[in-house]
Amino acid sequence: MSSTLDALLDCPPGLLDTTFDQLRTLLVVHETGSALRAARALGREQSSVQKQLDTLNRNSQALCGEVLTVRQGRGKDFLFTPTGETTVELARTTIANWLESIHWSRRRLGRMLTVGTTEFTLPIVSRAWARVSEEFRQREVEFKVAHVRTKDLWSRLETKQVDLVCGSIVSTAEGDRRLKEYEVIEYARGQALLLTNLPESELPDGPVRTSRLGRVPLVLPPAGLVADLLATWYGPAFRDRLNVVADIDDVHYGLSLLRSGFVRGCMIVTGSIGRGMAGREDPDAAPLRAIGLHDDLEPKAELMTGAFVRRADLERYDADHPLNRLWAAVHEDVRTYTPLA
């Protein structure tokens, strides 16, 4: 009999009686601080949560010689002992590994599919989904859509949090080495625009050279598509070489900032956003103009919008797997898709 089998057969009863439900309760108590708040989060009675904690403490005392949690009095959070903190980390890792394994098995068997999309590329997924939705319903495929910020696009793909993602990237002539591992369906490609509330007397309508962006007041995000574009032209320390008059977290706040007139400056935006916002009539908002950019820096850079999927996943699954079926639907959609003017 092997030592591994001996160890399995000799597991103490207290360990074998510990359930995933108890471990989840322990984690929720650790996050919320008390049995009452944990009970509310779990939708249970406080007595039920406390009973599970008592069981875990009793088993821990028998197994390790120390309880996991200690009450500190009314209104105070539980104190977790060193054994308790260690158990919390072990429980967190154990449950996360099991969930990851379950999700991977469901993906492999075609029972679950997760698609990531930015706000502005949601229509791509929507149109493709319309082509396969009935088939997926009949096959009982769990289809999930996750909101992905542009700055997180690659990390969500590379860590396999999503099976397919739609978004925009900065494209250069040299190409992105990361694309070698991915299949790409390109929807649109073009230059960015400057959207500004400055009058023509301060900033003429003619294209602004990218080498002269340091001379205009800019409203910039800390990360994302625009930051990647500027880093391509000016390097990672691009903010030190530009006149940044406002920091924004997303494009909507930047648009509101310019339309309010509170900040006078320019935003670098995609062509569709720039053309869509310029010239809108609103008596209560500052008028906005879209101005072209002339790329006179190296490397030349464009904004490319498309769908991305790991090539290895497409090759791993057969043609009837939901991921390949959805990818085929995206291919079909791009043949009939007409970009906005």
- pLDDT by residue for the chain (341 residues), tens only, comes to 577 888 888 888 888 889 999 999 999 999 999 999 999 999 999 999 999 999 999 999 999 999 999 988 777 889 999 999 999 999 999 999 998 888 888 888 889 999 999 988 999 999 999 999 999 999 999 999 999 988 898 889 888 889 999 999 999 877 667 788 899 999 888 889 999 999 999 999 889 999 999 999 999 998 889 999 999 999 999 999 999 999 998 888 999 999 999 999 999 998 888 888 876 777 778 899 999 999 999 889 999 999 999 999 999 999 999 999 999 999 999 888 755 43
The confidence score (pLDDT) of residue 335 equals 84
| CATH fold label, 192-294 | D-Maltodextrin-Binding Protein; domain 2 (3.40.190)
The confidence score (pLDDT) of residue 46 equals 93
**Domain chopping of the chain, boundaries:** 3-106, 110-189+303-332, 192-294
Torsion of CA 33, 36, 37, 38, to 10 degrees: 80
Residues 195, 267: contact at Cβ < 8 Å? yes
Residue 157 is encoded by which pair of tokens?
């793909």
Residues 150, 270: contact at Cβ < 8 Å? no
The confidence score (pLDDT) of residue 72 equals 83
Task: Indicate the DSSP class of residue 200.
Answer: T
Residue of 293, 259, 289 lying closest to 275 (CA atoms): 289
Same topology for domains 110-189+303-332 and 192-294, yes or no? yes
Element (H, E) at 254: helix 251-260
Residue 104 is encoded by which pair of tokens?
């991977």
| Cα 226 from Cα 182, distance rounded (Å) | 22
Cα-only R_g, the chain: 27
Residue of 298, 301, 326 lying closest to 314 (CA atoms): 326
Task: Indicate the DSSP class of residue 201.
Answer: T
The confidence score (pLDDT) of residue 226 equals 93
Instruction: Give the contacts of 29 (CB within 8 A, at least 6 positions apart).
Output: 35, 38, 49, 53, 69, 78
Residues 292, 111: contact at Cβ < 8 Å? no
Cis check for the bond before 199: say yes or no (omega within 30 of 0): no
Q: Is 125 helix (H, G, I), strand (E, B) or coil?
A: helix
Residue 58 is encoded by which pair of tokens?
């009793």
| Cα 229 from Cα 243, distance rounded (Å) | 16
The confidence score (pLDDT) of residue 116 equals 95
The confidence score (pLDDT) of residue 160 equals 85
Question: What residue type is assigned to position 303 of the chain?
Answer: L
The confidence score (pLDDT) of residue 331 equals 92
Residues 194, 291: contact at Cβ < 8 Å? yes
The confidence score (pLDDT) of residue 341 equals 39
The confidence score (pLDDT) of residue 339 equals 57
pTM of the model: 0.74
The domain over range 110-189+303-332 is classified in CATH as 3.40.190.10: yes
Phi and psi of 148, rounded to 5°? -120, 125
Residue of 325, 329, 333, 309 lying closest to 139 (CA atoms): 325
Residues 266, 218: contact at Cβ < 8 Å? yes
**Which CATH class for the 3-106 domain?**
mainly alpha
Residues 230, 220: contact at Cβ < 8 Å? yes
